[in-house]
Each structure stands twice: as structure tokens, then as C-alpha cells.
């Protein structure tokens, strides 16, 4: 469904991604592991159209090249990013944040049903419809950020470090919500430092090291890999 | 740029100034008056940028200060001699700006711009009212007759003083403080910078220069009136000149001012009727195509030339480059170049000093024979409410000296608020915070930093436009044991080495990855030489392997004698590091004890850990 071919990205002289080729199948969860600075966030941002790859690479979404599309067109095509640090509209209420999420034309029909679905999936948001986003706790904000992304009815949901800064209890709440989304058929690309949770959730893993794909495989294969254990699981 | 090139540049500048000074002897009256306009604009634009460039407080009060200078001279010259009049103009401008600054520099962004604009308007109205109603004459005569060549020379001196002075300031601690304020005032405060004082002082120094220029300029006129003195054109011309040249380089505004006057003259000649339209179009083009101003572009060009020459030299095996080329030169023309001056100057001037001031591998200060006994910090009955929401409610706990205390609790339970209260970022509603016997409630953030409490921020706050190295230098220059920039530079590099960032010293804050930004914050906090270090989720977002490294680092910091308070959600780290843990929920303390005790407490399990982690 989503395929990155020979994608390279550079910030000035520093090459953040080097010749990355990744295949993401529909209705699957793909996790990307890697050290901080390995290029995981850059990969997600490049897919979302926030960063332009160097010439020579392609990003195909449903066989259509999207590597030159503006970010809003990428969302319209069906790819939604939940960025690191949440990036909510702080001065807007929960409901308004969600409604903005449904801005793409494709997502406008059925907006109210989808809104109800989010409020069921995230009951805390239902209790706080009129609260301003900036006054919510970190965990609630993260839930809202995910719900807002889901409002655009994405075919693929990109999650950048969703558990960052959440208390242990909220982390387990978050992952059980993600599990429910996956069971409902949502395709997800997950970047997460919580490598154990990623391995539990994902169908397929890519490991990024210094901007290159270092290895790929199923979670079971990854758990056996000595290099992975040492580098990312702290064993 | 090498030493030799610098010497040449200095020589060229000196000769240039000498020629300019001698020039009026051969110039027509028109030439002299053109020179006057150039020098006045150079001095004003440079003075404007001294404050507004680094701090990004855009001021439209230039005309107010120029007018104050003009009117001071106009009033005073009747009874006093000229030198005294001019000194008086500078003093009055300084004091006026001091008052204005103290009352307005709390304003940020557009509010400050509007206020300064309004100030000029107010001054014009008040002076008009005074002249019309009190003296009954709008024009105020200047009766000194003074040769325009003297005005020319005086303004030349002021222009040179302004440019050299602002170059000098940019290399001092004050210059670093100004840039830090422009990048992030909160960080500046928590790094030990007395933000209010720095802003007001430099605003007043710049204003004093403007008033002095105004005072000299007034001597050209037979009489002045409020529209000459307090005309908004001054404010806008100066602003445009500085933006055109590059407000964040000491010599940028000077170039901008010269080009602006040239351009205006040319346009007046070429399109006399449509002059303002043509000028407007030129500005749009300039702002669109060179948003950072000309100076960074020129530096970039010279950098490329120098590199090309070095490459050529290297190929022929002639001269090896003295200093390896630094990537930062190209990395960010807006901000990247600004810090290079200091390291270069240092390596050029103080090879011996550098050796003498180099500290050993251990940079964190030790307290003699180890940590003092008892509590480093005691919090008692602390309360803070935001409107109806009570974020911290009757909270009391001690931070044992020399240990690592964990502060945990659900998101939104008030942990970060506690850090804000300790560091003076927020005032508490009630309670006391005692640092080794001293009450610190009501003490301002920068003083708390100097009292050796340092912190990191939950949402990382690295100065985005400053290099990694400059971020850390700030801590050393303004913390509890302030040093000069040169010493700070050496020690910053050693600290960067310690947190694993030695190879990224020249990168700009915004180019760093999340984890590296956290490392910079920690190094900056350590550079202030704290006795108590407050970490706000410093370990969040690390993978298990990085987490181990992070835990080791915190343990080493503690072993060197620094007491740590860490807000953290990573239970592995709490178990590994904390001898003492405080658990908060809804603003209250619900448990306290060793990590093992609190993590097996059913209350803590219920509100915080959830079922999964309780077993672990």
C-alpha cells in the first residue's frame, strides 16, 4: 500500500536517511526501531510531506507517487501523522481540535459518526469536550492528537513516539487503544522507544541505524537477533 | 577567516575611516552633508540593532530618542556650552529609556512594537502641545552656528563608536545574554541571566546613542519642530536599514544604512514623482529575497572564497589550514556564523590562557568533603492554584542532600508545577521552600540559578538558533560561578564531551535530534555548577539501551556531589536510582519512602502504575 524506494534525506551536509526502501502492507502494523537520531522521525516526516527527499527516491501510495506532494495533500490522500510532541491547537477545545482533523474533503462526509467513534474510543475526550487542549494533561493530549489524526479517516496512521512522557498506566491504556484500532483494521506505522511494546504490537519490524535500514523481519525474528537485543532492548 | 585576513581587514577599516575623516577638506558642501546623512544613519541603525537585533524586541522608538536628543540640545544650548549639551542629550536619552524600558520591556512581540510606536506619537503630541500652548511658537531656534564639517566629524566618530562598540558587546557576556534573551527568555532566566536588567540596560545604552546622534544632527538646522524631532521616518528608516543589512551582525546595520541612503538618493533622481512607490517595491524585493539581511550572505561569500583558497593551497601543498573547516559555516547562515567569532578569537589570542584555564576532567564542583548532612531542600505546606484548579495542595517533603529523590505521579498531578515553584518560575500561593536554611520563595529565577539550583525542561528548551557550544557556555557564563566567555568555552567543550556531544559542538540547536537536545540541556544545567539538579522527565523517549546510559550518567552526577530531584515516568530508572521517592496525585502527596516501598503501595498502583507494572 505504501512503498518507499531509495529514499535519502539530508539536513545540510548531514544525511539523515540513506537509500531507504520500505514496504508497508495494508491492515498491518509496522514498527520502526532505532536509536535516537537514527532517522525514524525523519522517515515519518518525509512520508507526511514535511521534508523533501533527495532526488532519485520515490514514495508510492496506492501506486501513486507522493514524494513531491504538499503535506495537506498527503493527508487528503489518506496518510495522517501524529507528530512527536502532539502539536495540538492549544487554544481550541477538544471538539474543535477533532473537527479540524476532519478538514480534508474526503473526511467531511460522515464526520459526525467518526466524531462519535473517537469519543467512544477515547472516553476521556468525551468527558472533556469543551476543555481547551492546552489545559489537558500529557496523556489526554496524546489521546486527542491520535483522535484528531483519525478524524481524517486515514488509510495509514503514522505515530511518532506516542508514549513519550506518559505515566506507566497511561502507556498501557494507550497501547490497548492502539491494539483495538489494529483489530479494527487500521494500518499503522509506529515509531516508539518502548521497544518491548513495539515488538508486541507489530506484524513487521524495520530497524534503522544511522539512516540506513539495518535489518527487517517479524517480531519473533527480531527478539532472537543478538544485535537487536544489545542495541535496542538493553539486554 | 584567518588571523592575517583579520589584520588586513582591520587595517583596511582604519585606513577607510582615516580617509573619511580627511575627506571634508576636499569635498563640496553637498558632499559633506551627504556624509552627515550616511553617518547618522549608520550610527542609528547600529544602535538600534545593538538591542533589537539579538533580543528581537522590535522597537519603533528611535524617533522618540532622536527627538529627545534634539530637544535637549535645543533647550540647553542657550545657556550651556556645546560639549555639555551633547553630554546632557546622551544622559537624558539614557534616563528616558531607563524609565520606558522598566515599564515596557515586560511586553513582548507586537505589544512592544505598538508601545514604542505610540511612544513616538506621544512625544510628538506632547512637544507640539508644549510649544503651541506654553511657548506659543512651534519652531525652536538653534542659535549655535557650527561648521558642517564639525558635524560631519562628530557623526563619523559616533558611527565608528557605534559599530566598534556593538562588535565589542557581541563578544562579551552581555552579548551572549542578549542573544539568549532573544532565543528564549525563560531559559535565559533559568540560566542565571538577570533578564530585566540586561534588557533595560542595553535598551538605554542604545537610546543614549540615538539621543546623542539626534543632538548632533539638530545642529544642522536653524530651528527644529516636533515633526523634525519626533518624525516617524527616523524609526522606520532605521528599522529598514538594519533589516536590510542584517540586524544580528555588528556591522550589518551599517551596510544596510549606507545602501538605503544610496538607494533613496538614486530613486529620488530616477523616479522623483514615484519615489516612495519605487522605494516600497525595493523593500518588498529585499525582504522577500534576503530575509536575514545582507551581512550573513556576505559572510557566506567570504567563507566560500576562503575555503576555495584553502582548497587551492592544500592542493599545492603550501599551507595547511590552521583550523579544520567547520561545517557550521554553511549550516545556517542566519545564526550559524554568529558564534564563530568567539572560538576563533580565542584560539587566535589565548593559546597560553587556554592551557592555564583548562580544568581537569571533573567539571562539576565538589563541596569540600562531600555533601552536607540533612536536607538540601525542604518544601513545606506548598500550595498553588490556577483559577479553580488546585495544582499543588499542602505539599511537604524533603530532598536529602547528596541523594537522588524521585518525584512521580500521574500526568497532570502537579509534578512540573512543583519544579516551577522551586525555580521561581511561578509564585506559590502558600507554603515555604527552604534551601539549606534559606527561604527561597520570592527569589527570582536567575537568582535561584545562582543559588545553585539548575533545571532541565520537560518540553526541551535548547536555544534553537544558538550552537550546542553556546547553549552550554551560557550556563557557565551566568551560573553560580560566572566566568568570561573564553573560560566558558573551554569548559563547555569539556562538558559536551562528557554528555557525548563533542562532535556536535558547532551544530545549531534546531538541527539536533531530540535526545541530543536533552543532552545539551543537561550540559547547560551542569555548567551553572548546581548543588541541586532538577530533571523533568529527562529520561523520557530513550530506548532501553540509551536508558542504561542515561541512568549511568545521572548516577555519576550524583556521585560527584550533586543532589538530584527527578520527575520521571520510567520506573526502571526510579528503581535503579532513587533512594527516596515522593508520589503525587491531584496535587497531593499520596506516598513517600524508598522506591520499593512506594511502588508496592496499593494506592500508587491504583492511580499510577496500572496493573501491568505492579507485578514487574
Q: What is the CATH number of the domain that holds A182?
A: 3.40.50.300
Q: Does residue B215 sit within a domain?
A: yes
Q: Considering the domain boundaries, does residue A83 fall inside one?
A: no
Q: What is the arithmetic mean of pLDDT over B506-535?
A: 91
Tell me, yes or no, whether A103 and A65 share the same domain: no
Query: How many other CB atoms are there within 10 angstroms of residue B311's CB atom?
Result: 11
Would you place residue B360 in the very low, low, confident or very high pLDDT band (cuts 50, 70, 90)? very low
Does the structure show a pLDDT above 70 at B42? yes
Under 8 Å CB pairs connecting chains A and B tally to 99
Report the pLDDT value the prediction gives residue B328, as an integer from 0 to 100.
Answer: 38
Same domain for A210 and A106?
no
Put simply, the answer to whether A193 touches B541 (Cβ < 8 Å) is: yes
Q: Are residues A25 and A10 in the same domain?
A: yes
Instruction: Tell me the pLDDT tens digit for each residue of A115-163.
Output: 888 888 888 888 888 888 888 877 888 889 999 999 999 999 999 999 8
- Domain-located, residue A93: yes
Query: Cα–chain-centroid distance for residue B550?
Result: 30
Interface contact flag, A195 B544, Cβ < 8 Å: yes
Of B197, B214, B242, which residue constitutes the final position of a domain? B242
CA distance B311 to chain A (A): 18
Q: Are residues A16 and A131 in the same domain?
A: no
**Which of B330, B458, B546 lies closest to A165 in CB terms?**
B458
Residues of A whose CB is below 8 A from B331:
12-13
The minimal CB distance from A231 to the residues B411, B412, B545 is found for: B545
Task: List residues in chain B touching A: CB distance below 8 A.
Answer: 327, 330-332, 408-412, 458-459, 511, 513-516, 537, 540-548, 569, 571, 607-613
A63 & A104 share domain? no
Q: Is the same domain home to A204 and A224?
A: yes
pLDDT at position B613: 46
Identify which of B513, B544, B611 has the shortest CB distance to residue A234.
B544
Asked whether residue B577 carries a pLDDT value surpassing 70, the answer given is: yes
Query: Which residues, in sequence order, are CB contacts of B36 under 8 Å at separation 6+?
Result: B148, B151, B152, B155, B217, B220
Orientation angle between helical segments B173-183 and B195-218, nearest 10 degrees: 110
Query: What's the gap in Å between the CA of A166 and the closest CA on chain B?
Result: 7
**By percentage, how much of chain A surpasses pLDDT 70?**
99
At B95, list the grid cell: 534616563
Q: Do A168 and B411 touch (CB under 8 A)?
A: no
Q: Within a domain: residue A138? A: yes
Each residue of B121-154: pLDDT tens digit?
999 999 999 999 998 888 899 888 888 899 999 9
Is A125 inside any structural domain?
A: yes
Range scoring the smallest mean pLDDT among B396-410, B571-585, B601-615: B601-615
Of A150, A168, A202, the position where a domain reaches its end is A150
The CA–CA distances, whole Å, from A168 to A63, B162, B604 equal: 40, 57, 11
CA A188 to chain B, closest CA, distance in angstroms equals: 20
**A37/B516 CB distance under 8 A:** yes
How many helices and strands, by DSSP H and E, does chain A display?
10, 10
The distance of B418 to chain A (nearest Cα, Å) reads 15
DSSP string, B351-394: HHHHHHH---S--S---TTSPPSSEEEEEEEEEEEETTEEEEEE
Chain-chain contact of B516 with A33 (C-beta, under 8 angstroms): no
Greatest mean pLDDT range, A36-40, B209-213, B491-495, B601-605? B209-213
- pLDDT tens digits for range B463-513: 988 999 999 999 999 988 888 999 999 999 999 988 888 888 998 888 888
Residues of A in contact with B385 (CB under 8 A): none
B60-77 per-position pLDDT tens digit: 999 999 999 999 999 999
Task: Select the residue of B330, B515, B545 nearest A234 (Cβ to Cβ).
Answer: B545
Instruction: Quote the minimal CA–CA distance from A139 to chain B in Å.
Output: 6
Instruction: Give the residues across from A82 on adjacent strands.
Output: A159
A121-135, B149-163, B577-591: least confident range: A121-135
Is a pLDDT exceeding 80 seen at residue B612?
Answer: no
Residues B87 and B228 occupy one common structural domain: yes
- Answer yes or no: are the C-beta atoms of B415 and B585 closer than 8 Å: no
| B52: pLDDT strictly greater than 70 | yes
Pairwise CA distance, residues B270 & B282, whole Å: 14
pLDDT band at residue B388 under the 50/70/90 scheme: confident
Q: What is the pLDDT of residue B321?
A: 38
Q: Which chain B residue lies closest to A16 (C-alpha atoms)?
A: B513
Decide if A13 touches B, using CB distance below 8 A. yes
A193 interfacial to chain B (CB closer than 8 Å): yes
Residues composing chain A = 235
Asked if A138 is an interface residue toward chain B (Cβ–Cβ < 8 A), one would say yes
Highest mean pLDDT among A213-217, A229-233, B18-22, B154-158: B154-158
pLDDT exceeding 90 applies to what percent of chain A? 43
B225-281 pLDDT, tens digit each: 999 889 888 898 899 899 889 888 888 999 999 998 988 888 888 887 887 788 788
Q: How confident is the model at residue B22 (pLDDT cuts 50, 70, 90)?
A: confident
Taking phi first (over 0 means left), then psi (-120 to 50 degrees means alpha), and beta for anything else, what does residue B610 get? left
pLDDT grade, residue B458 (50/70/90)?
Answer: confident
Closest listed residue to residue A156, CA positions, set A51, A22, A55, A56: A22
Domain that holds residue B109: 35-242
A165 against A32, higher pLDDT: A32
> How would residue B330 be classed by pLDDT, with cut points 50, 70 and 90?
very low
C-alpha B477: how far from chain center: 13
A140 in contact with B at a CB cutoff of 8 Å? yes
For residues B41 and B237, the answer to whether their CB atoms sit within 8 Å is: yes
Q: Among B209, B242, B275, where does a domain finish?
A: B242
Chain B within 8 Å of A195 (Cβ-Cβ)?
yes
What share of chain B in percent tops pLDDT 90?
A: 55
- Strand, helix or coil at B398? strand
Q: What is the ipTM of this complex?
A: 0.76
Distance from CA of B326 to the nearest CA of A (A): 12
Residue B331 confidence (pLDDT) above 80: no
Residues A63 and A115 in one domain: no
Q: What distance lies between CA B8 and its chain's CA centroid?
A: 30
With beta carbons under 8 A apart, name residues in chain B contacting A37. 513, 515-516
Q: What is the pLDDT of residues A153-165, one digit of tens each?
A: 999 999 999 988 8
pLDDT of residue B292: 79
Residue B564 lies in a domain: yes
Does the pLDDT at position B359 exceed 50?
no
Residues of B in contact with A168 (CB under 8 A): 569, 571, 608-610, 612-613
Beta-carbon separation of B608 and A167 below 8 A: yes
Instruction: Indicate whether B335 belongs to any domain.
Output: no
When the pLDDT of each residue in chain A is averaged and rounded to a whole number, the result is 88
User: A230: which chain B residues are within 8 Å (Cβ-Cβ)?
Assistant: 545
Chain A closest-CA separation from residue B547 CA (Å): 8
Q: What residues form DSSP beta bridges with B406?
A: B566, B581
- Flag whether B608 is in a domain: yes
User: Does some domain include residue B46?
Assistant: yes
Query: Does A74 share its domain with A6?
Result: yes
Domain boundary, last residue among B189, B211, B242: B242
For residues A108 and A222, state if they share a domain.
no
SS3 breakdown of chain B: % helix, strand, coil, rounded to 5?
A: 60, 10, 25
- The verdict on residue A203 lying in a domain is yes
For A117, the domain range is 89-150
Cβ neighbors of A180 (< 8 A, separation 6 or more) are A121
Is the C-alpha dihedral spanning B77, B79, B81, B84 positive or negative?
negative
- Pick among A31, A132, A169 to test the B interface (most B CBs inside 10 A): A169
The CATH number linked to B494 is 3.40.50.300
**pLDDT (average), residues A26-30:** 90
A225 and A178 part of one domain: yes
Of B458, B516, B571, the CB nearest to A168: B571
And the C-alpha cell for B534?
Answer: 532538577
A55 and A162 assigned to the same domain: yes
Which residues of chain B neighbour A14 with C-beta distances below 8 Å?
511
Give the C-alpha separation, B44 to B240, whole Å.
Answer: 11
End residue of a domain, out of A125, A150, A175: A150
The reply to whether residue B412 touches residue A140, judged by beta carbons under 8 angstroms, is yes
- Residue B148 is placed in which grid cell? 558642517
Question: Is B440 within a domain?
Answer: yes
| Distance of residue B84 Cα from the nearest chain A Cα, in angstroms | 55
Among A138, A191, A231, which would you mutate to test the B interface (most chain B Cβ atoms within 10 Å of its Cβ)?
Answer: A138
Average pLDDT, chain B: 85
Q: Chain A interface, mutation test: which of B411, B549, B581, most A Cβ atoms within 10 Å?
A: B411
- Distance, CA of B550 to CA of B543 (rounded, Å): 10
Q: What is the 3-state secondary structure (H, E, C) of B531-572?
A: CEEEEECCCCCCCHHHHHHHHHHHHHHHHCCCEEEEECCCHH
Question: Cβ separation of B541 and A173 shorter than 8 Å?
Answer: no
CB contact (8 A) between residue B412 and residue A12: no
Tell me, yes or no, whether A132 and A201 share the same domain: no
Residue A84 is assigned to a structural domain of this protein: no
Copy the grid coordinates of residue A169: 498506566
Q: Tell if the CB–CB gap between A37 and B513 is shorter than 8 Å.
A: yes
Domain count for chain A, please give it: 2
Distance of CA A36 to the CA centre of its chain: 16
B546 and A36 within 8 Å at the Cβ level: the answer is yes
Q: What's the number of CA atoms in the CB half-sphere (13 Å) around residue A112? A: 0
The alpha-carbon gap from A107 to the nearest alpha carbon of chain B, in Å, equals 32
Chain B: residue nearest A140 by CA?
B411
Indicate the number of domains in chain B.
2
Beta bridge partners of B566: B406, B535
Residue B351 lies in a domain: no
Over residues B424-434, the pLDDT tens digits come to: 999 999 999 99
Q: What is the DSSP string of B93-112?
A: HHHHHHHHHHHHTT--HHHH
Q: Grid coordinates 576636499 are at which residue?
A: B26
Q: What span, in angstroms and rounded, lies between the C-alpha atoms of B518 and B568?
A: 14
Q: Which residue of A has its CA nearest to B611?
A: A169
Amino acid at each position: 500500500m505504501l512503498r518507499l524506494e531509495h529514499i535519502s534525506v539530508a539536513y545540510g551536509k548531514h544525511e539523515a536517511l540513506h537509500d531507504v526502501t520500505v514496504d508497508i502492507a495494508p491492515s498491518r502494523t509496522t514498527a520502526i526501531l532505532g536509536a535516537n537520531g537514527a532517522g525514524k522521525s525523519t522517515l515519518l516526516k518525509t512520508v507526511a510531506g514535511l521534508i523533501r527527499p533527495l532526488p532519485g527516491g520515490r514514495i508510492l501510495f496506492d501506486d501513486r507517487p507522493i514524494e513531491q506532494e504538499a503535506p495537506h495533500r498527503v493527508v487528503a490522500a489518506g496518510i495522517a501523522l501524529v507528530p512527536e510532541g502532539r502539536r495540538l491547537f492549544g487554544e481550541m477545545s477538544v471538539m474543535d481540535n477533532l473537527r479540524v482533523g476532519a478538514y480534508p474533503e474526503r473526511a467531511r462526509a460522515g464526520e459526525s459518526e467518526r466524531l462519535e467513534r473517537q469519543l467512544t474510543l477515547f472516553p476521556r475526550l468525551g468527558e472533556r469536550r469543551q476543555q481547551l487542549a492546552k489545559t489537558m494533561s500529557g496523556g489526554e493530549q496524546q489521546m486527542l492528537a491520535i483522535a484528531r489524526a483519525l478524524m481524517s479517516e486515514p488509510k495509514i496512521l503514522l505515530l511518532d513516539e506516542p508514549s513519550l512522557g506518559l505515566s506507566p498506566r497511561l502507556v498501557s491504556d494507550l497501547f490497548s487503544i492502539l491494539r483495538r484500532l489494529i483489530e479494527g483494521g487500521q494500518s499503522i506505522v509506529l515509531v516508539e522507544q518502548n521497544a518491548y511494546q513495539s515488538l508486541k504490537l507489530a506484524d513487521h519490524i524495520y530497524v534503522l541505524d544511522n539512516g540506513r535500514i539495518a535489518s527487517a523481519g517479524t517480531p519473533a525474528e527480531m527478539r532472537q537477533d543478538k544485535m537487536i537485543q544489545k542495541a535496542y532492548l538493553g539486554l | 577567516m584567518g588571523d592575517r585576513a583579520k589584520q588586513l581587514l582591520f587595517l583596511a577599516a582604519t585606513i577607510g575611516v582615516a580617509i573619511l575623516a580627511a575627506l571634508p577638506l576636499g569635498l563640496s558642501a553637498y558632499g559633506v552633508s551627504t556624509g552627515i546623512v550616511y553617518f547618522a544613519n549608520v550610527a542609528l541603525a547600529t544602535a538600534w540593532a545593538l538591542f533589537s537585533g539579538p533580543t528581537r524586541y522590535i522597537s519603533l522608538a528611535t524617533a522618540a530618542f532622536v527627538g529627545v536628543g534634539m530637544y535637549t540640545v535645543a533647550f540647553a544650548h542657550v545657556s550651556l556650552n556645546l560639549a555639555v549639551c551633547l553630554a546632557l542629550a546622551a544622559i537624558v536619552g539614557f534616563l528616558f529609556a531607563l524609565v520606558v524600558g522598566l515599564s515596557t520591556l515586560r511586553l513582548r512581540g507586537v505589544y512592544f512594537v505598538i508601545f514604542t510606536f505610540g511612544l513616538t506619537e506621544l512625544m510628538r503630541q506632547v512637544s507640539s502641545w508644549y510649544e503651541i500652548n506654553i511657548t506659543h511658537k512651534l519652531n525652536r531656534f538653534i542659535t549655535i552656528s557650527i561648521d558642517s564639517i564639525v558635524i560631519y566629524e562628530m557623526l563619523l566618530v559616533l558611527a565608528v563608536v557605534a559599530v566598534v562598540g556593538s562588535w565589542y558587546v557581541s563578544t562579551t557576556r552581555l552579548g551572549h545574554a542578549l542573544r539568549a534573551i532573544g532565543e528564549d527568555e525563560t531559559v535565559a532566566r533559568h540560566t542565571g541571566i538577570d533578564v530585566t536588567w540586561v534588557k533595560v540596560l542595553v535598551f538605554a545604552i542604545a537610546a543614549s546613542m540615538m539621543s546623542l546622534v539626534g543632538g548632533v544632527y539638530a545642529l544642522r538646522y536653524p530651528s527644529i519642530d516636533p515633526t523634525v524631532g519626533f518624525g516617524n521616518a527616523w524609526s522606520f528608516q532605521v528599522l529598514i536599514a538594519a533589516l536590510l543589512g542584517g540586524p544580528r551582525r555588528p556591522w550589518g546595520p551599517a551596510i544596510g544604512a549606507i545602501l538605503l541612503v544610496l538607494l533613496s538618493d538614486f530613486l529620488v533622481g530616477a523616479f522623483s514623482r514615484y519615489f516612495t512607490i519605487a522605494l516600497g517595491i525595493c523593500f518588498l524585493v529585499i525582504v522577500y529575497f534576503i530575509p536575514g539581511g545582507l551581512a550573513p550572505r556576505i559572510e557566506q561569500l567570504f567563507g566560500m572564497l576562503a575555503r576555495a583558497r584553502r582548497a587551492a593551497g592544500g592542493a599545492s601543498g603550501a599551507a595547511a589550514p590552521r583550523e579544520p573547516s567547520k561545517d557550521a559555516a554553511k549550516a545556517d547562515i542566519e545564526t550559524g556564523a554568529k558564534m564563530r567569532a568567539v572560538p576563533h578569537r580565542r584560539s587566535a589570542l589565548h593559546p597560553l590562557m587556554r592551557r592555564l584555564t583548562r580544568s581537569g576532567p571533573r567539571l562539576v564542583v565538589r563541596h569540600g568533603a562531600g555533601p552536607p548532612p540533612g536536607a538540601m531542600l525542604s518544601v513545606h505546606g506548598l500550595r498553588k492554584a490556577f483559577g479553580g484548579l488546585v495544582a499543588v495542595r499542602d505539599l511537604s517533603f524533603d530532598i536529602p542532600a547528596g541523594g537522588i529523590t524521585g518525584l512521580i505521579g500521574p500526568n497532570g498531578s502537579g509534578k512540573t508545577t512543583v519544579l516551577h515553584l522551586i525555580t521561581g518560575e511561578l509564585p506559590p500561593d502558600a507554603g515555604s521552600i527552604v534551601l539549606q536554611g534559606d527561604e527561597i520563595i520570592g527569589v527570582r529565577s536567575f537568582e535561584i540559578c545562582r543559588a545553585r539550583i539548575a533545571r532541565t525542561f520537560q518540553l526541551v528548551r535548547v536555544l534553537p538558533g544558538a550552537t550546542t557550544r553556546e547553549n552550554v557556555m551560557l550556563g557557565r557564563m551566568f551560573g553560580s560561578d560566572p566566568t568570561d566567555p573564553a573560560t566558558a568555552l573551554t569548559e563547555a567543550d569539556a562538558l559536551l564531551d562528557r554528555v557525548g556531544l563533542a562532535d556536535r559542538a558547532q551544530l545549531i540547536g534546531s538541527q539536533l535530534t531530540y535526545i541530543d537536545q536533552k543532552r545539551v540541556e543537561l550540559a547547560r544545567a551542569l555548567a551553572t555548577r548546581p548543588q541541586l539538579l532538577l530533571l523533568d522527565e529527562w529520561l523520557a523517549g530513550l530506548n532501553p539501551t540509551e536508558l542504561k546510559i542515561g541512568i549511568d550518567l545521572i548516577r555519576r552526577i550524583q556521585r560527584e556531589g550533586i543532589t538530584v530531584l527527578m520527575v520521571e515516568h520510567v520506573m526502571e530508572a526510579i528503581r535503579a536510582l532513587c533512594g527516596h521517592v515522593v508520589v503525587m496525585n491531584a496535587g497531593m502527596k499520596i506516598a513517600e519512602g524508598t522506591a520499593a516501598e512506594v511502588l508496592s503501595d496499593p494506592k500508587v498502583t491504583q492511580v499510577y502504575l496500572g496493573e501491568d507494572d505492579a507485578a514487574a
